[in-house]
Structure 1
Amino acid sequence: MSTYKLVCPHCHSRMRIRTSEGTHIFLRVAYLQCTNEACGWSVRAEFEMTHEMSPSGMANPTVKLPIANVAQRRAAMLSPTDHPDLLDQLEMERAI
């Protein structure tokens, strides 16, 4: 299984999610830390759902996001898809 990689912009080591919290249905705040002890950089990050790429098969009428334009959908189709869902990864990192 592949993992979603967050990379430290200073030393290029892997970042780990120390903790995270949902602040809104479309927003999750995470606290990250570089795994390189010599670097030790830590940061607060926000992961936001911004556009609907395709409709849900079980649509909730209270969930309303703008629909992605054609260019955004095409770019998503060209992106690698071998990493797990980001929110699943946040939960897995929190459990460790």
Structure 2
Amino acid sequence: MRVISLPCPHCQHRVRAAKSRTMSTLMKEITYMCQNPECGHTFVASLEVLRTLSMSAIPNPEVRIHLSQHVRNACANQLALFKND
């Protein structure tokens, strides 16, 4: 599996995830360290669930995630089919 990463915002070199902290079901903070010894920048970034692209087959009723426009349209189309029956 590929690790989610981004370049150092200062020198554009590779960074390494040093640690992470779960903030909520939908958000995690990740501490990154620049691998360029001349830079040495350490920073925190966030990883957040933003929207649903495909509905879960086993949804957690306590989790509320925005639906993408595509999913909203698909749901509206399915509801329209049921109304027409």
- Give the TM-score taking structure 2 as reference length: 0.72
RMSD: 1.5
The runs of 4+ residues in structure 1 deviating greater than 6 Å are none
Instruction: Trace 1:49-88 onto structure 2 (pairs within 5 A).
Output: 49-70=49-70
Larger relative contact order (Cα-Cα within 8 Å, sequence gap ≥ 6): 1
For structure 2, the 5+ residue unaligned runs are 71-85
Percent identical among aligned pairs is: 29
Which has the larger Rg?
2
Offset from partner CA, 1:16-41 (integer Å, 9 cap, x none): 11100101000101111101111111
Q: Provide closer, same or farther for how the CA distance between residues 2 and 61 of structure 1 changes in structure 2, counting only shifts above 3 A.
A: closer
- Give the TM-score taking structure 1 as reference length: 0.65
Offset of residue 5 of structure 1: 3.5
**What secondary structure is seen at the aligned counterpart in 2 of 1:10?**
coil
Normalized per residue, which structure has more strand?
2
